[in-house]
Structures are given as C-alpha cells and as structure tokens.
C-alpha cells in the first residue's frame, strides 16, 4: 500500500514501490524510481533520473536529484543512485551527476545531516555520517565508515579513506588516508582514529599493524614516495596495511600532511 498526501504532486510516470509514504507538499518527477518502504516527510523534492532503493527516510525540504551546479553542464541526461536505509535530514541536497558515465551515488546506511550538500559525481560508500552543513564539491569520494564533522568543506576530486574521522569546520583539499583523524584549515592529519577503530571491533593486532604503516608515512621523516617504497617491503602485509598503501598509490591530489 502506498500513502500519498493529497497535497503531494507525483508524476504519473514515476515508479513508486510498496509501502512508501509521501507526505504533504512533496514533489516527485517523471524519471524517479522509488523502491519499497521509503518515507518522504514533507516538502521533499525528488527529480531527475533518480533511482532510490528501500527503507530510506527523507526529512522536510530535502532536495534530491536536481541538476548539478557545474557551469559546464548543458542539460544532458545524467543520474543519481541512492541505496538502502539512508537518513536524509532537513534541507540536505544531493545533485545528480554532470556526466552520465559516473552517476552521483550514495550507498547504504548513511546519515546526511541538516544542510549537507552532495555535489555532482560524488560517490559515498556505506555507513557514512556527514554532519550538519558539510559541503562536498564535485567528484568527491568518501569510503565506507567515514565520519565528516559539521561545517567542513571538501574540495573537488578529494578522496576520504575508510574508517577516517574528519574534525568539524575543516577545509580539505587533499586526500585523507584510511583509519586517520585530523582537522583544520588547511586540514592536517593528527593521528589514527583509534577510538573509532576500537568501537568497530578492530583487534589490537590489526590496530598495531595500522599504526606501523601510519608511522612510516607520518613519523619516519620519509617523503611519501620513500615511505611507500618502505611500506611495500613489509613482509606479510595485513589487509588494513594493504588498503592504506593502495589508497596512497591511487591518490591523484596527494595525501594530507
């Protein structure tokens, strides 16, 4: 059963799954595909070629799937994909992509807080928290289990590593390695996200291995290339160490100091 408030405007071509609730004054465009058990509280706008999974909740005045703010965009068909069990709070905005071959994506079990903005071609993984008034420029990639503190601005093409913790009111222009924490304008890494790793069940052995690889890049006096060479010489690299190394190797804008 689908519940649609009388004041909502739902295009007849939109696909609405079972048990969805569409509240007062919501607007849903023609190319929207909503899965099952989604809730739109009130005044929510979902437009464009937007595909949404199951069990998501969109709070008052969230705006989803509208055209990107890239001045090079000329109205060509582009896309937004949102997974399952996400919470999108009041006045959050998520733009569809600027190009079709790289849709804007939000994974599963994410929390996007009030006034957060996800720009074109951003890719968010799973279990991510984006706090109030965080702004992501285009093409930002945030890996699983990252937490972004409020009022933080992240420049285009930046990558945020898995299990990292970004302090509030930061300005991020370079990639943030996995498992780390930091803050500032410009952003600087201050250590490992040790408390977060403990809370998520990382063993003492895993945390020790992460610390070993972290020290090579941040406490050894080596530059990034030298640290990378030393890191790859470590025998029997753990999964976490390999993730850290691969992240650094694949960094296009360089890692934060």
| Distance (Å, whole) CA 216 – CA 223 | 9
Distances, alpha carbon 225 to alpha carbons 105, 217, 232, 251, 255, in Å: 32, 9, 11, 12, 11
- What pLDDT was estimated at residue 76? 95
| Distance (Å, whole) CA 60 – CA 212 | 46
| Distance (Å, whole) CA 148 – CA 132 | 9
- What pLDDT was estimated at residue 146? 98
**Residue 211, burial from CB neighbour count under 10 angstroms (0-12, 13-18, 19+):** middle
Terminal-residue alpha carbon distance, the chain: 53
Strands 27-28 and 9-10: parallel
The residue written with tokens 């809730």 in the block is 39
**Residue 199, burial from CB neighbour count under 10 angstroms (0-12, 13-18, 19+):** exposed
Q: In this structure, how many other beta carbons lie within 10 angstroms of the beta carbon of residue 168?
A: 14
The HSE-up count of residue 93 (CA atoms within 13 Å, CB side) is 15
Beta-ladder partners of 190: none
| Distance (Å, whole) CA 2 – CA 209 | 50
Return the CATH class of domain 3-139. mainly beta
Q: Which of 173, 74, 183 is nearest to 193 (CA)?
A: 183
User: Domain coordinates of the chain in residue numbers?
Assistant: 3-139, 197-249
Tens place of pLDDT for every residue, the chain, 257 residues? 999 999 999 999 999 999 999 999 999 999 999 999 999 999 999 999 999 999 999 999 999 999 999 999 999 999 999 999 999 999 999 999 999 999 999 999 999 999 999 999 999 999 999 999 999 999 999 999 999 999 999 999 999 999 999 999 999 999 999 999 999 999 999 999 999 999 999 999 999 999 999 999 999 999 999 999 999 999 999 999 999 999 999 999 999 99
Q: Which of 109, 65, 114 is nearest to 87 (CA)?
A: 109
- What pLDDT was estimated at residue 111? 99
**197-249 carries CATH number 1.10.340:** no
Residue 26 preceded by cis peptide, ω within 30: no
Beta-ladder partners of 28: 10, 46
| Distance (Å, whole) CA 210 – CA 207 | 5
- What pLDDT was estimated at residue 21? 98
Question: Which DSSP category does 255 fall into?
Answer: B
Residue 25 has which token pair? 């004054």
- What pLDDT was estimated at residue 122? 98
How much is the pTM?
0.97
Question: Which DSSP category does 252 fall into?
Answer: S
């Amino acid at each position: 059963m689908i519940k649609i408030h009388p004041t909502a405007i739902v295009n007849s071509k939109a696909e609405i799954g079972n048990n969805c609730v569409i509240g007062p004054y919501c607007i849903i465009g023609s190319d929207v595909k909503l899965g099952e058990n989604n809730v739109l509280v009130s005044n929510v706008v979902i437009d464009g070629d937007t595909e949404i999974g199951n069990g998501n909740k969109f709070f008052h005045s969230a705006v989803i799937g509208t055209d990107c703010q890239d001045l090079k965009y000329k109205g060509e068909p582009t896309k937004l994909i949102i997974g399952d069990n996400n919470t999108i709070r009041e006045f959050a905005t998520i733009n569809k992509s600027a190009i079709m071959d790289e849709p804007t994506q939000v994974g599963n079990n994410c929390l996007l807080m009030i006034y957060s903005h996800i720009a074109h071609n951003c890719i968010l993984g799973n279990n991510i928290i984006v706090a109030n008034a965080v702004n992501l420029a285009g093409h930002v990639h945030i890996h699983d289990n990252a937490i972004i503190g409020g009022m933080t601005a992240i420049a285009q093409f930046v990558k945020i590593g898995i299990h990292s913790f970004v302090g509030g009111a930061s300005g991020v222009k370079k990639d943030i390695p996995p498992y780390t924490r930091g803050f500032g304008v410009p952003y600087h890494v201050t250590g490992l996200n040790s408390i977060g790793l403990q809370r998520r069940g990382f063993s003492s052995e895993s945390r020790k291995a992460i610390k070993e690889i972290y020290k090579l890049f941040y406490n050894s006096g080596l530059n990034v290339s030298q640290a990378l060479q030393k890191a790859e010489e470590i025998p029997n690299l753990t999964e976490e160490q390999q993730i850290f190394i691969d992240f650094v190797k694949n960094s296009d804008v360089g890692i934060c100091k």
